[in-house]
Structure 1
Amino acid sequence: MVSRWWCAGVCAVVGVLVSGPVVAAEPAKADSFADRAVSKTTADGWRVSAVKARERVRSVPPLNQSPWSREGFLSLRGEGRIAGTSTLPVNAGTVATGFQLGCNTDVTSGATVGVTGGPTAQMSISYPPAMVIGGQLMPSISTTLRPGTIADVPFGTKQMAGALAGIELDGVHVKVDGCLGPVAVRAYTRVAISTAANDTTVHVYGEPHYL
């Protein structure tokens, strides 16, 4: 049963987690890519932490040289940690990480100002060949960026088989076509756990950056 591995996993690593607690990034730091963590004690007594680490957003001139295209490379590690003690075992846990992207104005209708055409700015995310996340192959992702909305681009979701789990991707290619102005990107990590009595979800976000 899941509760059996959970007891074994937590008992083995709680000492390490307590001796080296998760520390959120200091607000005064100038590095907007600094690692960040958010921790919460659940109603059952577990200490759940969501960590955003090793984030990088590198904007490059688009290969098609179009003024309506944005291109870049994204790197990120998302990590989930669980510590503490409780009379209720954790039945399931997941960690998910990725980026949120937003385009201010769609220009695929040909206009550059005050566009009223259909929201069809296109975004594509390309993962490295044969990249496997949690036993599943992650395909390329494409979606429509509607002006005034934000698209969630997941890097992956991993089931937690113990008190610590993470997802890390480096140099993921992103391209947005048909967008006027910069494309905003914001990293996130989400950690969720479930017991017989409660479900708890914790989020951490990075600073906005631009392609």
Structure 2
Amino acid sequence: MPPHEKSFVPPGGGARKFVIGSREEYIYRIPPLNFMATTREALVSSISYGQVEGASGGKLRIGYHVGCAVTIGAGTLGATPDIIIGQLPSVNPNPVATLTLAPGEVGEVEIAEKDMIPGKLIQLSFRDFHIKVNACTGPVTLRQYSYVDYKSPEVDDSGAVFGDPTWL
């Protein structure tokens, strides 16, 4: 996936600024261990980095947003009887199966966070982090995020970069 980087100047400007970026993102889609069509799995790897200037510090946070289009809820299996009363009374069981489908959700999978040191380039890398999504009958989308939380005596600020959304 392509690299992403942004620079920010907190309110008040001056010598204060911060940078956030990510690079070398790889997504390896793997077959689900349970062999279910409603399960998706991947191993993800990336490097995220940040630098704060003129701050007391900050925090670098990385992870993934995971979106599922349609989720499968609880279902029931049973029978409803048809009772016929007459000269020859009878009972006919009719099998019934129900399945609950619901609009999908977007969740957040936090991978790591690290305190930042002013003036130093801070990096977080992860390799082959396992992501799995269960009970999703529609498409699954992944998008990497990297956040910097900037802290100074005068200003608290934050900024982010996001990877390109991709299917799982």
Asked if these proteins are the same fold (TM beyond 0.5), I'd say yes
- Work out the CA distance in 1 between the residues paired with 2:56 and 2:118: 11
Q: Deviations over 1:84-110 (max 9, x none)?
A: xxxxx4222111111100111112435
Aligned to 2:105: 149
Aligned to 1:21: none
- C-alpha displacement at 1:182, in angstroms? 2.4
Aligned to 2:2: 34
Return 5+ residue gaps in structure 2 as ranges: 77-98
Partner residue of 2:58 out of 57, 78, 93: 93
TM-score, normalisation: structure 2: 0.77
Residues 100 and 185, structure 1, Cα contact 8 Å, conserved in 2: yes
- Secondary structure, in 3 states, of the residue corresponding to 2:160? strand
The answer to whether structure 1 residue 63 and structure 2 residue 11 are counterparts is: no
Greater percentage in helix: 1
Partner residue of 2:114 out of 158, 178, 193: 158
- Secondary structure, in 3 states, of the residue corresponding to 2:139? strand
Greater percentage in strand: 2
Aligned to 2:90: none
RMSD: 1.9
Aligned to 1:76: 46
Return 5+ residue gaps in structure 1 as ranges: 1-32, 84-88, 120-146
Q: Which has the larger radius of gyration?
A: 2
- Secondary structure, in 3 states, of the residue corresponding to 1:109? strand
Q: Deviations over 1:48-77 (max 9, x none)?
A: 111011111121221211111111111122
TM-score, normalisation: structure 1: 0.62
The answer to whether structure 1 residue 104 and structure 2 residue 69 are counterparts is: yes
Residues 66 and 142, structure 2, Cα contact 8 Å, conserved in 1: yes
After TM superposition, what 4+ stretches of structure 1 lie above 6 angstroms from structure 2? none
- Secondary structure, in 3 states, of the residue corresponding to 1:190? strand
Aligned to 2:86: none
The answer to whether structure 1 residue 49 and structure 2 residue 6 are counterparts is: no
Amino acid at match of 1:181: G
| % identity of equivalent residues | 27
C-alpha distance 183-201 of structure 1, shift in aligned 2 (>3 A): same
